[in-house]
Amino acid sequence: MTNPRDVIVGVDLGGTSMRALVVDADYQVLGEDKQPTNPKEKPVKLIADLANVVEQAVERAGLKMKEVRAVSIGAPGAVDSERGIVFEAPNIRWRDVRLGAKLRKTLQVPVLVENDVNVGVVGEHVLGAGRGTKELVGIFVGTGIGGGIISRGRLYEGCRGSAGEIGHVVIQADGPRCGCGKRGCAEALASRTAMERDVRAEIKAGHKSQVLEIMKTRNRERMTSSIVVRALRKRDRVMRKVMARAEHYLGILVANIVNILDPECVVIGGGLAERLQEDFVGPIRKTAYHYFLQQRGFERVSILPGQLGDQAGALGAAVLARQRLRHTS
């Protein structure tokens, strides 16, 4: 029988979907639920939806909410983990939302809140590609580029809780405008959003590509990871050119991070890494190794694709909750 003190619900709150996993002490999934996120909804409605996802997952695990030790959420954007506040999450239009307190009032269990990429990195560190390491950096490539740092086996958050904004390392000072307003950030050069911008620019310049046709066929307004993979499999020249450029910039990004932090492992996560694995990470690794300042023993720094896929966030949220509860109990 499951010990109620060992049950944690990990939640990944994203701009397109929210997922809850009920896990035991060994991180075996007892129950789960996933629902779409409507970013146009007001925070109070989204929080109600989030509570429902948690309750459905707990019910599917054959448990009651009173048997849950805590709910832990990975939320997009800037987060105050101590007070459970989401300061700003543009993808879901949140600003200064007291997520922890509001959800705790509904569910009647302790609620922890952390940045979504941070929890994904914690998941990969403890349960995925970074198992057994003490020094790790995670880089998640998606609509944007997020990152997280593990130092001495623990999540490193910095003095203001904003460490790990790897996507906003400037790679090209006079480069394209980033969503943050600055120019030349890694996110503006190598995220999926940047790739889509570059694909459209190539097509507009007269280069032939099947990407827009694939998007139309699959009824997608944005270039998702699955569309990128499909175009690559069709050997689309524009997509291959744009992908190679993005991988090059990601390699330089990884090298910069390694030159500063010298981790044992760099984990590349996100939809593209999940689908393409070594085909995506291999070129990044090759460029990164070339730009390492310390070439002696360069191969000791592992650069690997993530292993947890779309469960990384929810599992990592559960791991982080158990770590923090252990230190407060």
CATH assignment at residue 111: 3.30.420.40
* The predicted structure's pLDDT at residue 179: 86
On whether both 113 and 145 belong to a single domain, the answer is: no
Q: Which residues contact 103 (CB under 8 A, 6 or more apart)?
A: 47, 50, 51, 71, 73, 111
Q: Which of 307, 319, 311, 231 is nearest to 274 (CA)?
A: 307
Residue 44 in this model has a pLDDT that exceeds 80 = yes
Residue 261 in this model has a pLDDT that exceeds 90 = yes
> How do residues 130-146 score in pLDDT, each as one tens digit?
999 999 999 999 989 99
On whether both 168 and 31 belong to a single domain, the answer is: no
On whether both 145 and 292 belong to a single domain, the answer is: yes
Q: Which of 203, 202, 174, 204 is nearest to 189 (CA)?
A: 174
Cα–Cα distance between 284 and 235 in angstroms, integer?
19
On whether both 293 and 151 belong to a single domain, the answer is: yes
On whether both 302 and 315 belong to a single domain, the answer is: no
* The predicted structure's pLDDT at residue 329: 54
On whether both 94 and 214 belong to a single domain, the answer is: no
On whether both 156 and 275 belong to a single domain, the answer is: yes
Give the tokens for residue 134: 């003490």
Long-range contacts of 98-106 (CB under 8 A, 24+ apart): 99/47, 99/73, 99/75, 100/73, 102/44, 102/47, 103/47, 103/50, 103/51, 103/71, 103/73, 106/47, 106/48, 106/51
On whether both 299 and 150 belong to a single domain, the answer is: yes
SS3 272: helix
On whether both 147 and 106 belong to a single domain, the answer is: no
pTM here is: 0.91
Cα–Cα distance between 199 and 238 in angstroms, integer?
6
Please state the rounded mean pLDDT for residues 25-54: 93
Cα–Cα distance between 233 and 276 in angstroms, integer?
11
Boundaries of domain holding 24: 4-121+311-328
On whether both 324 and 290 belong to a single domain, the answer is: no
On whether both 51 and 153 belong to a single domain, the answer is: no
- Please give the tally of structural domains in the chain: 2
On whether both 293 and 255 belong to a single domain, the answer is: yes
Please state the rounded mean pLDDT for residues 77-96: 88
Burial class (CB in 10 A: 0-12, 13-18, 19+), 283: middle
